[in-house]
Structure 1
Amino acid sequence: MAKYKVFLNEYIDEEAIELLEKHADITNNLEKISEIDAIILRTFPVSRKLIENAPKLKVIGKHGVGYDSIDIEAAKEHGVKVVYTPEANIQSVSELIIALMTNAARRISLSFEKGKNNQLTSIGPKNLIGYQLNKKILGLVGAGKIGLNTARIAKNGFNMKIIAFDPLISREQCEELGIEKIDNLNDLLKLSDFVSISVPLNKGTKHLINKDNLSYMKSNAILINTSRGGVVDETALYDALKENKIFAAASDVFVNEPPTGANPLLHLENFIGTPHIGANTKEAAKLVGLTIVQEVLLVLENKEPKYRVI
């Protein structure tokens, strides 16, 4: 008989499931919440009430990077460890950022839609002229692992100049990486041709990009958000795009997910939306799945995990 009971009601990689099943019974309902030793989640919300009703709960494992759907304070109060996978999806998310930059700059999705709807009357139409990435300025809002890996791809592949706004990285670290540190977010927005956001969602970053600072961006600038929906004020972004104050934007994350036609952003020609697919590759799914299962098992075996939030 398995030693542990783990709650999991969302898809994770099959190899990760096989590993977990060797050590635990997996349940997809909370009828016997008092018997649960661990929770593994992708988007499932873990509330204070859930934690308080699970006396055996020892660890919560977040399949991914952002853990804003977990009540961290409640977990801390009840001695529940929280682990996550901050490194497993770096390459996949970075590649999506580059893909969204290229798509938005070259109007690829819009070109396809116009062709599909019989709205093209010539090749290379003037209204679909875009921009090269080559030698442009990429501004990083957040210079963590994903931001820096994206910078490496952009610098080596497109000869882009990289600037970064991140209070947590030193000027010396930036210089070592060939990145210019910018101390003020508005200054970064003024200088950048492309802006990529890679920060967690918290009280300090909610609506970090808003009506006021969107006005600092260049008219040909492109905004990319792969962090969390709430980091960008969606209403302010809609207004900026509709009024052509910036050239385009793309987002893999939204306040309400997955995005639907009810979101006005999806009706703009200069906006691209994807349903939180940053880590949605076979390679990342396997690595994230195996990593979070291993982290959860380490805690259950009273060993120190590698990627601990609390």
Structure 2
Amino acid sequence: MKVGICDPIAQEGVEYLKNEGFEVVDLTSVPKDELSKHVGDLDAIIIRSATKVRKDMIDAAKNLKAIGRAGVGLDNVDVEYAKSKGIKVINTPGATSISVAELTIGLILAVMRKIAYADREMRRGSWPKKKCKGIEMYGKTLGIIGIGRIGREVAKRAKAFGMRIVYYDVYRPDENTEKELGLEYRDLDTLISEADVITLHVPLVPETKHLINAERISKMKDGAIIINAARGGIVDEDALYDALKSGKLYGAALDVYENEPLKESKLFELDNVVLTPHIGAQAKEGQTRAGLEVAKKIAEVLRS
């Protein structure tokens, strides 16, 4: 059976498939708009976030039995159409949770202590010490929207920094989990008005599109901070720009964007926003876990 690798995964995952007797077809160098021409005889494909598996590719893959996503989000896969064709859709929701959580904490620190700004100015020959007076994480209220695997890992780390943690999710964890992680439940509007820092850990679905918009930003504390390492489109980038420029928000950090890769943006003008190129899962350990896990799951489906 043939497994096509459309986006690079950890070599451990590739070797696992080969050792299990599968033929691995490397499609990582094929332009994305030409992938449909190369999937006709594949039994499974493995992707990350770059490849979009829509109806045209699914129809072109006549032998397809499984789609494996090395990562969490499935917004780049037409899941319902795949299921209607009897194709199993797999992801690895827990593999990169720690990687994304650690980046989230890093982004909070980068914004609060103006680390990225200080680095840029130093490289220009400036010594911006007076402009780099920041704020501490200690004692601040962190609002986590989405308390799944990643949200919980963020909570563990924020607790170690001495932050008070409030959260909102449509599915509340049990009382023991709340107590263990030091979580206090709030409805969404209360969380938005109460938190000093708001971090997003929800999927991009119709209900979360522009969840953070001009109206909700207006209800936030003056000087609040927004972090988005989840999915582009959850934050209205135009509304965010206006709030950052006006000083309503102290700062923000984005790892994801409505249109990726991000080549042009008004946000580039601002010094109080930190921008990273969708690197939440880009840690060696997380990628190894994701690549190996997706390979094992794909192998299990094909064997059955």
- TM-score when normalising by structure 1: 0.91
What residue number does 1:177 align with? 181
What residue number does 2:22 align with? 24
Amino acid across the alignment from 1:9: C
Are 1:251 and 2:257 an aligned pair? no
- Maintained 8 Å contact 1:84/1:292: yes
Equivalent of 1:130 in 123, 126, 134 = 134
Structure 1 residues 150-169: aligned runs within 5 Å: 150-156=154-160, 158-169=161-172
Distance 1:120 1:83, change over 3 A: same
What is the aligned residue count? 293
Equivalent of 1:14 in 11, 32, 50 = 11
What residue number does 2:145 align with? 141
Amino acid across the alignment from 1:263: S
For residues 246-301 of structure 1, what are the alpha-carbon distances to aligned partners after superposition, in whole Å with 9 as ceiling and x for unaligned? 000001111122222x1111221000010111111111111110001111111111
The Cα RMSD (Å) is 1.4
Are 1:5 and 2:8 an aligned pair? no
Are 1:38 and 2:36 an aligned pair? no
For residues 88-124 of structure 1, what are the alpha-carbon distances to aligned partners after superposition, in whole Å with 9 as ceiling and x for unaligned? 1111111100000001000011011112223336xx3
What residue number does 2:269 align with? 267
- TM-score when normalising by structure 2: 0.92
CA distance in 2, matches of 1:171, 1:16: 35
- Maintained 8 Å contact 1:111/1:128: yes
Structure 1 residues 191-210: aligned runs within 5 Å: 191-210=194-213
Amino acid across the alignment from 1:100: L
CA distance in 2, matches of 1:100, 1:177: 21
Unaligned runs of 5+ in 2: 28-34
Unaligned runs of 5+ in 1: 303-310
Report how far residue 51 of structure 1 moved: 1.1
Distance 1:32 1:251, change over 3 A: closer
What residue number does 2:290 align with? 288
- Maintained 8 Å contact 1:7/1:30: no
The alignment-based identity, stated in percent, is 40
- Maintained 8 Å contact 2:36/2:57: no
CA distance in 2, matches of 1:26, 1:152: 39
CA distance in 2, matches of 1:266, 1:285: 29
Report how far residue 8 of structure 1 moved: 1.3
CA distance in 2, matches of 1:33, 1:144: 34
For residues 222-267 of structure 1, what are the alpha-carbon distances to aligned partners after superposition, in whole Å with 9 as ceiling and x for unaligned? 111011011111111111111111000001111122222x111122
Report how far residue 32 of structure 1 moved: 4.8
For residues 18-53 of structure 1, what are the alpha-carbon distances to aligned partners after superposition, in whole Å with 9 as ceiling and x for unaligned? 112233222225435331100100120001121122
CA distance in 1, matches of 2:212, 2:173: 22
CA distance in 1, matches of 2:39, 2:291: 23
Amino acid across the alignment from 2:300: L
**SS of the counterpart of 1:31?**
helix
What residue number does 1:305 align with? none
Structure 1 residues 44-83: aligned runs within 5 Å: 44-83=51-90
